[in-house]
């Protein structure tokens, strides 16, 4: 008799013969075998999750390795530039001179390397690119900030009213974006990294931190403990507001110690007469969720009619879609308009645009008018099984996109300014009267998120021939 585990693997593989299927059902007549089957199925689901985590971890490690490679190559450059270039040595005297020169150069390299590593060991992070209007206070004294300047533990970084800077931590992918009029102190201790936000706002993209060494960000009112996530923390005289885009942050009031766990897609505020609770970043009637098995959870934030959405997923073509969908329900005719401002992607195939969809199922009939960096705007639709895509424009971001539904006909429009629209395509797609309309973003990669920014987002309950971008009684930004 074939062992149960083997039969289950073959069942998983859909390669059970008729005989083996009978054998499997025979096995399951006993309660003991059914309990084993339940455990096996549970184990399979966990194994699937573990494999996906492992894949994401390997990807992050590869990225981190690439970062370290740059550091190593810098040392190489340093050593090579200190060594004399090879020249022909004509006589014995000249050869001796060169030997002395070689020895001196080697000593210089050694001393240089010692100094380099001694100073480098104190370096916690570096500025990335241009640091505008930035002052670094080291031991209370202002330092000259150059491009890619080092930030040491204990340094206080300040930005002016028109300033801003990005700080990247060494040997990890943690990034800190300082907005204007911000003051933050960076410190590395045995317990982990400490960031003290005294004023302004910072966006932190934190790489997973070592066990028992969480990154802690404090403000005068609150403390946020981070394990590996992306969030925005802003402080004013009265309150501190935390918006989590990805991962989980524990946010606590320093006054009474009350804490709340804030997940991706939620925000919380600590301040006087403000209840400490996690609230959604999406106001009603908007919702967001991942469609299909995307690998990494997406998130969206809507501020007025400006939306930032992050999404993973391999694609949205053929018979199954994988993307992050920010949506609201639509009954009958209507339309969705947005301007794709930017799409920051990890893969060239990333897409962002407006979507109309019958359901939240991965293979639902849909229409997707999207912008893809490098190739312009494409109109993708699926009426039954497989989707089709047509190139409809060569625009670059920012670009205006609009989908309108009238009966079973969905029409795609493009516009240079949101005022005059030109028809880019039209398809008959049978869907239920009640559908979902909104914004979609996919990274073409299950282990990375693409970030897209939209503005002038509006959903209308009845399609009009030539809409204006900022009016309309039934529009719901």
Quick check: 277 binds another protein (CB under 8 A)? no
User: Of the two residues 48 and 419, which places its CB atom closer to another protein in the complex?
Assistant: 48
- Please, are residues 55 and 447 in contact by the beta-carbon 8 Å criterion? yes
CB of 450 vs another protein, minimal distance in Å: 19
The number of residues making up the chain comes to: 477
Quick check: 54 binds another protein (CB under 8 A)? yes
Quote the CA–CA distance of 249 and 226 in Å, as a whole number: 5
Quick check: 37 binds another protein (CB under 8 A)? yes
Residue 300 main-chain phi, psi, to 5 deg: -145, 150
What is the residue-wise DSSP string for 438-459? EEEEE-SEEEEEEEEEEEEEEE
Taking residues 4 to 33 in sequence order and writing x for each that binds another protein by CB under 8 A, - otherwise, the string is -xx--xxxxxxx--x--xx-xx--xx-x--
Quick check: 55 binds another protein (CB under 8 A)? yes
CA distances from 304 to 98, 256, 277, 448, 471 (A): 71, 33, 21, 27, 14
User: Of the two residues 13 and 471, which places its CB atom closer to another protein in the complex?
Assistant: 13
Question: Which listed residue (200, 292, 311, 349) binds another protein by CB under 8 A?
Answer: 292
How many chain residues are in contact with another protein, going by CB under 8 A?
49
Neighbours of 290 (CB within 10 A): 21
Quote the CA–CA distance of 115 and 101 in Å, as a whole number: 21
CB of 378 vs another protein, minimal distance in Å: 22
Query: What sign for the dihedral angle of Cα 355, 359, 360, 366?
Result: negative
Question: Which listed residue (205, 310, 320, 339) binds another protein by CB under 8 A?
Answer: 320
- Please, are residues 425 and 392 in contact by the beta-carbon 8 Å criterion? yes
CA distances from 74 to 69, 110, 128, 170, 315 (A): 9, 16, 16, 14, 37
Quick check: 465 binds another protein (CB under 8 A)? no
CB of 321 vs another protein, minimal distance in Å: 9
Taking only Cα atoms into account, the Rg of the chain, rounded to an integer number of angstroms, comes to 28
The interface region with another protein, picked from 38-46, 131-139, 202-210, 451-459 by CB under 8 A, is 38-46
User: Of the two residues 52 and 153, which places its CB atom closer to another protein in the complex?
Assistant: 52
- Please, are residues 300 and 308 in contact by the beta-carbon 8 Å criterion? yes
CB of 289 vs another protein, minimal distance in Å: 8
Taking residues 413 to 432 in sequence order and writing x for each that binds another protein by CB under 8 A, - otherwise, the string is --------------------
Quick check: 293 binds another protein (CB under 8 A)? yes
User: Of the two residues 335 and 380, which places its CB atom closer to another protein in the complex?
Assistant: 380
The interface region with another protein, picked from 34-42, 62-70, 255-263, 418-426 by CB under 8 A, is 34-42
CA distances from 20 to 24, 149, 305, 317 (A): 6, 67, 58, 36
Residue 105 main-chain phi, psi, to 5 deg: -60, -40
Quick check: 333 binds another protein (CB under 8 A)? no
Residues 360-399 that bind another protein (CB under 8 A): 360-363
Residues 206-245 that bind another protein (CB under 8 A): none
User: Of the two residues 38 and 423, which places its CB atom closer to another protein in the complex?
Assistant: 38
Tokens of 16: 């059970």
Burial of 104 (0-12, 13-18, 19+ CB in 10 A): exposed
Longest pairwise C-alpha distance within the chain: 95
The interface region with another protein, picked from 44-52, 123-131, 141-149, 271-279 by CB under 8 A, is 44-52
User: Of the two residues 52 and 426, which places its CB atom closer to another protein in the complex?
Assistant: 52
Quick check: 72 binds another protein (CB under 8 A)? no
DSSP helix/strand/coil, 98 = helix
Q: Which residues of the chain form contacts with another protein (CB under 8 A)?
A: 3, 5-6, 9-15, 18, 21-22, 24-25, 28-29, 31, 34-35, 37-38, 40-55, 57, 289, 292-293, 320, 322, 359-363
């Amino acid at each position: 008799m074939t062992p149960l585990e083997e039969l289950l693997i073959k069942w998983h593989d859909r390669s059970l013969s008729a005989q083996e299927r009978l054998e499997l059902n025979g096995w399951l007549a006993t309660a003991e075998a059914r309990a084993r089957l339940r455990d096996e199925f549970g184990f399979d689901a966990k194994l699937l999750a573990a494999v996906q985590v492992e894949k994401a971890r390997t990807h992050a490690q590869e990225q981190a390795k690439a970062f370290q490679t740059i550091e190593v190559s810098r040392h190489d450059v340093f050593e090579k530039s200190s060594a004399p270039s090879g020249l022909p040595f004509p006589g014995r005297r000249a050869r001796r001179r060169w030997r002395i020169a070689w020895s001196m150069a080697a000593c210089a390299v050694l001393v240089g390397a010692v100094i380099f590593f001694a100073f480098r060991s104190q370096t916690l992070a570096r500025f990335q690119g241009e640091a505008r209007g930035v002052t670094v206070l080291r031991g209370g004294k202002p330092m000259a900030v150059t491009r890619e300047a080092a930030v040491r533990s204990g340094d206080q970084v300040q930005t002016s009213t028109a300033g801003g800077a990005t700080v990247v931590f060494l040997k990890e992918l943690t990034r800190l974006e300082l907005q204007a009029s911000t003051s933050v102190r960076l410190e590395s201790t045995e317990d982990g990294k400490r960031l003290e936000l005294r004023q302004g706002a910072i966006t932190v993209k934190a790489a997973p931190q070592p066990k028992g060494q969480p990154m802690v960000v404090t403000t005068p009112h609150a403390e946020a403990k981070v394990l590996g996530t992306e969030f925005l923390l802003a402080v004013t005289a009265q309150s501190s507001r935390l918006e989590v885009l990805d991962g989980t942050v524990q946010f606590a009031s320093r006054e009474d110690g009350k804490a709340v766990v804030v997940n991706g897609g939620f925000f919380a505020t600590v301040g006087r007469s403000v209840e400490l609770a996690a609230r959604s970043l999406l106001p009603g009637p908007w919702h967001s969720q991942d469609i299909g098995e995307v690998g990494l959870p997406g998130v969206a934030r809507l501020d007025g009619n400006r939306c930032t959405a992050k999404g993973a997923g391999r694609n949205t073509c053929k018979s199954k879609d994988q993307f992050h969908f920010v949506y609201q329900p639509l009954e009958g005719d209507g339309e969705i308009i947005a301007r794709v401002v930017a799409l920051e992607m990890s893969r060239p195939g990333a897409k962002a645009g407006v979507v109309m969809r019958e359901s939240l199922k991965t293979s639902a009939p849909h229409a997707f008018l999207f912008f893809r960096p490098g190739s312009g705007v494409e109109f993708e639709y699926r009426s039954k099984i497989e989707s089709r895509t047509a190139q409809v424009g060569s625009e670059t971001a920012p670009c205006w996109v609009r989908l309108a539904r009238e009966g079973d006909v969905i029409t795609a429009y493009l516009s240079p300014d949101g005022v005059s629209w030109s028809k880019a395509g039209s398809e008959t797609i049978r869907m239920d009267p009640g559908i979902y309309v909104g914004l979609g973003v996919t990274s073409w990669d299950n282990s990375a998120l693409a970030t897209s920014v939209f503005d002038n987002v509006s959903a209308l309950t009845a399609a009009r021939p030539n809409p204006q971008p900022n009016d309309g009684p039934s529009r719901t930004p």
